[in-house]
Amino acid sequence: MTQQRFHGRMAGSGRACDAPGCPEAGEFRAPGVHPPGFDGPGSYRWFCLDHVRAFNQGYDFFAGMSQAEIEAAQSPLAGWATQTRAFHPTAGIDQAPRWADFADPLDAIAARARSRADAMRQAQAAARAGIDPADRQAYGVLSLAFDADRRALRARYSELVRRYHPDRNGGDRSHEAALRAVVEAYNHLRRRPAFA
């Protein structure tokens, strides 16, 4: 396929124009019915020069958007509101490897891969056991096994409250966020059928 006089022309593609009843070759790509999204670039239609010109004249990028969505799309900061994984400070990784703990950098990478694989296995085991992501997060906060019973839940809750409560830490309030997370996780799990 070669580009010729018109930008975007894909001559020799062998496609027919998607306009009904048009015998010309479809050499110009236009957005299709399926828009781009998380699952891929979307679909395309192929038109001849006359029909792609007609399509472009009637195309409305903002069709179906609310006024707020249009203003957000027209903002100079549009597209910069979220960080891509590559430009995120952590590059999408929970924390950097502690390189001093490993003799070989490949061991550090392998350890991270093993921990990710373990996390995936735990998520799959939780899904098989009927444990939803919110429950799984609560189990993680309390460091409980998925087969824990009510007694184990209460014991772990008591242990963590004693560990993080300011009265047990000389008035130190630096653990309040952890304490709040423990209380929320306990209150979430104690209402679940597994702990009834």
Sequence spans of domains, the chain: 1-64, 91-128, 131-196
For the residues 65-75, what does the mean pLDDT come to? 86
Residue 152 in contact with residue 144, Cβ under 8 Å? yes
Q: What is the pLDDT of residue 45?
A: 87
171-184 pLDDT, tens digit each: 777 888 888 999 99
Average pLDDT over residues 68-90: 71
Q: 117-157, pLDDT tens digit by residue?
A: 888 888 888 878 778 888 888 888 888 888 888 899 999 99
Ranking 35-39, 50-54, 104-108 by mean pLDDT, the lowest is 35-39
The whole-chain average pLDDT of the chain stands at 81
- Asked if pLDDT for residue 97 goes beyond 70, the answer is no
Give the CATH number of domain 131-196; options: 1.10.10, 1.10.260, 3.40.50, 1.10.287: 1.10.287
